Amino acid sequence: MPINRQWLDSGNTAAIVAGTDEVGRGPLAGDVVAAAVILNPKIPITGLADSKKLSPAQRQRCCTQIMENSLAYAVARASVAEIDKLNILQASLLAMWRAVEALTLQPEFVYVDGNRCPRWPYASKAIVRGDSLIAAIAAASVLAKVTRDREMAEMEADYPGYGFAQHKGYPTRAHCMALQQMGPCSIHRKSFKPVADSINLHSRSKTPW
């Protein structure tokens, strides 16, 4: 269901308030994608809610409204290589930092989904489950998820057999089975245990005896 109209950010006195959120911490493959949004207080987003609580069609409708009616929005990411180098938490914070920095209208205050903020110059506050409590964070979560889901579906053509269009890189049973059978591809996160285990398995199978 859509979030209650009494958003926690309704009392914020900053003139320009952004929300940021990331999508893709749990998958075994693909970039982590973040978005930042500055909503127009005069044009509320109909049906806005935490992206995980919306159907794909509802997310798409909200995403269209967000892009058409927000004062500013931006999408950014941290790559698979950066995830493997930094770890997924730091890569997620980096993606959110990049998304906020990319806004054409720079915010006076930023709400961040989660329990910590990136190290940046913005006045900000981290809120656990912020995508259910802060309108701008919810908008960012929708934009990030629609973007990442679309990109992962497109990966199906480049990397057939893994089922990216269905599971979007998350560790479903079908994905893990494909990983065991085929080994990882270039968009798999090598620092994640199931992928590392697959690499070791396929390395041993190729060892001549």
User: What are the residues whose beta carbons fall under 8 Å from the beta carbon of 176, sequence distance 6 or more?
Assistant: 194
Distance CA 197, CA 29 (A): 14
Average pLDDT for 107-135:
96
Flag the least confident range among 5-19, 142-156, 175-189: 5-19
In the chain, where the domains are located: 8-156, 158-203
Out of 3.30.420.10, 3.40.50.620, 3.40.605.10, 3.40.50.300, select the CATH number for domain 8-156: 3.30.420.10
Instruction: Read off the pLDDT band of 155 (50, 70, 90).
Output: very high
Structure tokens at 153: 């579906």
Q: Which segments of 70-172 does DSSP mark as H helices, in order?
A: 80-86, 88-101, 135-158, 164-167
- pLDDT single digits (tens) 37-77: 999 999 999 999 989 899 999 999 999 999 999 999 999 99
β-strands 72-78, 32-38 pairing: antiparallel
Q: Which segments of the chain does DSSP mark as H helices, in order?
A: 56-69, 80-86, 88-101, 135-158, 164-167, 173-182, 193-205
Instruction: Read off the pLDDT band of 115 (50, 70, 90).
Output: very high
Q: Give the pTM.
A: 0.91
Residue 207 pLDDT > 80, yes or no?
no
* Closest by Cα among 138, 124, 152, 115 to 33: 152
Average pLDDT for 77-104:
98
Residue 23 pLDDT > 70, yes or no?
yes
Are 9 and 17 in contact, with CB atoms under 8 Å apart? yes
Structure tokens at 52: 């995980």
* Closest by Cα among 165, 169, 163 to 192: 169
Instruction: Read off the pLDDT band of 3 (50, 70, 90).
Output: very low
